[in-house]
């Protein structure tokens, strides 16, 4: 009996070791790309920079910066406005992070059947 169980199916040219090696390389590349994204930063801003949010390349919130003097609490709507602006700035940063991730992961997904 042959060593390759796929010989009986007419798949004698099928190299399972090569396939596993390729899968391992792709996994390593994917892991590295994800690690790189965590280190990258994107900013989202609103109201001419009154509120700036920084996220990493996977969309995790890193920091929120509010320009001094923009929201002093004298207007009852300040807190509501500030909250809305933080959310809008985060959405901006998140969209940029998703674009960055898509750019970084796109070539890797192209090598996986069903993902590219």
User: Average pLDDT over the chain, rounded to whole?
Assistant: 82
* pLDDT number for residue 5: 63
Domain ranges of the chain: 35-103
Pair 57, 98: CB distance under 8 Å: no
- Residues of the chain with pLDDT > 90: what percent? 40
Q: CATH assignment of 35-103?
A: 3.30.1310.10
pLDDT of residue 46: 95
Q: What is the pLDDT of residues 3-52, one digit of tens each?
A: 666 666 655 566 788 888 888 888 888 888 888 888 999 999 999 999 99
Contact present, 90 and 74 (Cβ < 8 Å):
no
CA atoms within 13 A on the CB side of 51: 19
Give the whole-angstrom CA distance, residue 2 versus residue 74: 84
Percentage of the chain exceeding pLDDT 70: 79
Give me the mean pLDDT over the 79-93 stretch.
93
- Is 76 a residue whose pLDDT tops 70? yes
Q: Are 37 and 101 in contact (CB under 8 A)?
A: yes
Q: What is the pTM of this model?
A: 0.68
> Please, what is the angle between helix 78-109 and helix 16-39, to 10°?
150
Residue pLDDT, tens place only, 56-71: 999 999 999 999 888 7
pLDDT reported for residue 56: 93
Indicate the SS3 state at residue 41: strand
Single out the residue of 88, 90, 40, 84 nearest to residue 64, CA to CA. Answer: 90
């Amino acid at each position: 009996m042959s060593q390759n169980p796929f010989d009986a199916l007419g798949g004698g040219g099928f190299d399972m070791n090569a396939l596993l090696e390729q899968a391992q390389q792709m996994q390593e590349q994917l892991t590295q790309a994800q690690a790189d994204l965590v280190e990258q930063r994107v900013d989202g801003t609103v109201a001419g920079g009154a509120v700036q949010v920084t996220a990493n390349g996977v969309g995790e919130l890193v920091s929120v910066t509010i320009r001094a003097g923009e929201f002093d609490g004298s207007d009852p709507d300040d807190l509501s406005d500030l909250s809305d602006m933080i959310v809008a700035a985060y959405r901006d940063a998140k969209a940029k992070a998703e674009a960055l991730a898509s750019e970084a992961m796109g070539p890797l997904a192209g090598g996986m059947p069903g993902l590219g």
